[in-house]
Structure 1
Amino acid sequence: MSLNPALAGRSVTVQVPATSANLGPGFDTLGLALALYDQLEVSVRDEPGVFVEVHGVGEGEVPTDESNLVAQAIAHTFADYNIEMPGLTLVAHNVIPHGRGMGSSGAAIVSGIMAAKGLLEGIVQIDAEDLLRLATEMEGHPDNVAPALFGGLTIAWTTPEGPRHKKLMVHRGVSPLVFVPEHAMSTALARSLQPESVPHEDAVFNLSRSALLIAALIQSPELLLAATEDKLHQSYRAAAMPETNRLITLLRENGLAAVVSGAGPSLLVLASDPGQRLVAAELVAAASETPWQALMLAVDFTGATVTRTGA
């Protein structure tokens, strides 16, 4: 493995959206890209090693060397194509909250893989299938990385040949609202609360709701409340995030399609019109015991982008 001279002086800028996975019944399958973006600048430098500068979320907390998750994703991609990674300078501008169920780790992985794709432009061709494979290898499951890569609403599944996805456009009436608490939640802890098996009737329940949710999101937003019912994961995790669970129950009792965002503890409201979001924000402001930030976001339809900025 030797350093490719074509890499000298190259630099790229990457933008990756936040995501919300599961969306209620679509456990480990459905994901939605949201218009809240981490940005990354990567430059090849003459000296070996990786130098990382972090601004915003994670500043002073996340690693600033080769162990940084973004740097690991770049290295993983270079290694996959058997190309030596050059010395790099990374400047990360982060706004996606960490440990809140908004896909921050998936966004970091996708940022690194997209940066590698841009740096390797003209040297190797990395297509959409490869991007999803590389990201899933690092993340472990494709439900967050698929919408981060491709935008919109994604259905992700795995095959013997690797992960696959289908991107769908969301009805213009769907208005996402994410409530973000001050406290974080470990995805590993959330997953550990899942049972190994579930009752047959619960599995059938979620199959029907997942199918209905696709119809609600792309065609019939008035069905979102019924379509976001879940019996596979949220109830098992409720004890680990009691206020999230209490607020979701309150919102749903008031006719609002509220679910846990990803592994939590943030909660996602899939409003059927912008006015519903204001109602939801007022309910949470009046009923919450701790501070929650209300993010009224659009659906991102573009996904991750990379732009060559040098050489």
Structure 2
Amino acid sequence: MINIKVPATSANIGPGFDTLGLALNMFNHVALSKRADSIKRIIWETPDDAIDDSINLVKTALEYTLEKYNRSTLGYDLIMGQCDVPMSRGLGSSATAIVAGIYAANYLLDFALSKEEILLYATELEGHPDNVAPAIFGDMVISSYTEGKVIHDRVIFPEDIVFKVFIPDFELSTSAARKVLPKTYNIQQCVFNMSRLGLLINCLYTKRYDLLPFAVEDAVHQPYRLPLIQSAELIFEKCREIQSLGSFISGAGPTLIALMPLDHADTFDKQFEPFLATLESKWSLKTLTINKSGTTYSVES
């Protein structure tokens, strides 16, 4: 049996639309046992979480990978374990499922796939690598999918910054969040984002945290998505008031994230929680840290 643990992710980080993502210490768990026959069983540890096999991305990714190796007849017991990453909240739930499924298939294939192949297959299924790359490798990853290849590199995210994660009680599908984006952008918007993205990467390396609030600004997706997220503007305004190190929409939303120095994390909560209680929607506030290891697994004999 293989036990697989995949971290949540946050994509874009402001200006890095579809290119930048990072892994967070919140996880989904999947296990898989080999069978001697061709029967394929899906077992849910928590039956209330069960979804139809046709929309189970873990199974989809698993079968997609087996088909590439002409091993679709392999049987298995797929155990859907603890799922802490909420669905349709902008924390990479689909990426965790896809990556878990490919890792499960790799076990059935006696570990025939390299990490680069796992990334490629995950990108083919997800459509872009901004979430799947950090889910696999950990840390912050900048990536591009071009001509059937995924070009990527790690950006070392400082461990003295924590993520204040605002998760609402409502969902926002990625497809709905993409529909509101314009088909074209003017040169000013492009320059705006290029300057912020370059500065963001440099700030993290040089620890110029005073520039981060400016560096996570965005002109490509956030202005169009913010109206879809009730109370988002109010939360961002409060983050500026408390002097966070910048705030942004996590992926396509509706989760929001503020950056804070590790040594001021508790103070942030004390100032923010009474404010959240005044908002129309219910928001939970979590403190997460950067995940450096990506997907991990253990094999039991």
State the TM-score, normalized to the length of structure 2.
0.92
Q: Are 2:205 and 1:234 aligned? A: no
Amino acid at match of 1:302: S
Are 1:171 and 1:219, in contact at CA under 8 Å, matched by a contact in 2? no
1:71 corresponds to which of 43, 54, 59: 59
Offset of 1:236 from its aligned partner?
Answer: 0.5
Are 1:19 and 1:32, in contact at CA under 8 Å, matched by a contact in 2? yes
CA distance in 2, matches of 1:112, 1:219: 37
Are 2:3 and 2:297, in contact at CA under 8 Å, matched by a contact in 1? yes
CA distance in 1, matches of 2:152, 2:76: 31
Tell me the equivalent position of 2:286: 295
Offset of 1:51 from its aligned partner?
Answer: 2.2
Unaligned runs of 5+ in 1: 1-10
Tell me the SS of whatever aligns to 1:179: strand
Q: Are 2:99 and 1:110 aligned? A: yes
Amino acid at match of 1:90: L
1:44 corresponds to which of 34, 50, 69: 34
CA distance in 2, matches of 1:246, 1:47: 56
Offset of 1:54 from its aligned partner?
Answer: 2.9
CA distance in 1, matches of 2:274, 2:77: 42
CA distance in 1, matches of 2:249, 2:273: 14
1:140 corresponds to which of 118, 127, 130: 127
Amino acid at match of 2:185: V
Q: Are 2:167 and 1:177 aligned? A: no
Q: Deviations over 1:201-259 (max 9, x none)?
A: 11101101011111223332332111111111011112211312331233134422111
Tell me the equivalent position of 1:154: 141
Q: 1:48 to 1:161 in 2, by over 3 A?
A: closer
Q: 1:222 to 1:172 in 2, by over 3 A?
A: farther
Are 1:100 and 1:266, in contact at CA under 8 Å, matched by a contact in 2? yes
Q: Are 2:110 and 1:121 aligned? A: yes
CA distance in 2, matches of 1:303, 1:78: 22
Tell me the SS of whatever aligns to 1:172: coil
Are 2:66 and 2:105, in contact at CA under 8 Å, matched by a contact in 1? yes
CA distance in 1, matches of 2:189, 2:272: 30
Structure 1, 262-271 or 252-261: larger mean CA deviation: 252-261
CA distance in 1, matches of 2:274, 2:17: 28
Are 2:248 and 2:258, in contact at CA under 8 Å, matched by a contact in 1? yes
Offset of 1:80 from its aligned partner?
Answer: 1.4
Offset of 1:269 from its aligned partner?
Answer: 1.1
CA distance in 1, matches of 2:157, 2:270: 22
Offset of 1:118 from its aligned partner?
Answer: 2.2
Q: Are 2:213 and 1:225 aligned? A: yes
Q: Are 2:2 and 1:12 aligned? A: yes
Dislocated runs of 4+, deviation >4 Å: none
Offset of 1:276 from its aligned partner?
Answer: 4.5
2:259 corresponds to which of 256, 261, 270: 270
Q: Deviations over 1:264-306 (max 9, x none)?
A: 1110112233415632563254143332111111110000122
CA distance in 1, matches of 2:129, 2:270: 30
Amino acid at match of 1:100: R
State the TM-score, normalized to the length of structure 1.
0.89
- Which residues in structure 2 correspond to 1:195-234 (within 5 Å)? 195-220=182-207, 221-234=209-222
Tell me the SS of whatever aligns to 2:10: strand
CA distance in 2, matches of 1:291, 1:155: 33
CA distance in 1, matches of 2:40, 2:298: 20
Tell me the equivalent position of 2:295: 304
Q: Deviations over 1:29-87 (max 9, x none)?
A: 1101001111111112345343223346x944522x36521011111111112223422
CA distance in 1, matches of 2:41, 2:267: 43
CA distance in 2, matches of 1:253, 1:209: 21
Are 2:242 and 2:268, in contact at CA under 8 Å, matched by a contact in 1? no
Identity of aligned residues (%): 35
Q: 1:244 to 1:85 in 2, by over 3 A?
A: farther
Q: Deviations over 1:78-98 (max 9, x none)?
A: 111222342221112211111
Are 1:37 and 1:96, in contact at CA under 8 Å, matched by a contact in 2? yes
Amino acid at match of 1:229: E
CA distance in 2, matches of 1:67, 1:239: 29
Are 2:167 and 2:284, in contact at CA under 8 Å, matched by a contact in 1? yes
CA distance in 2, matches of 1:205, 1:280: 32
Tell me the SS of whatever aligns to 1:242: coil
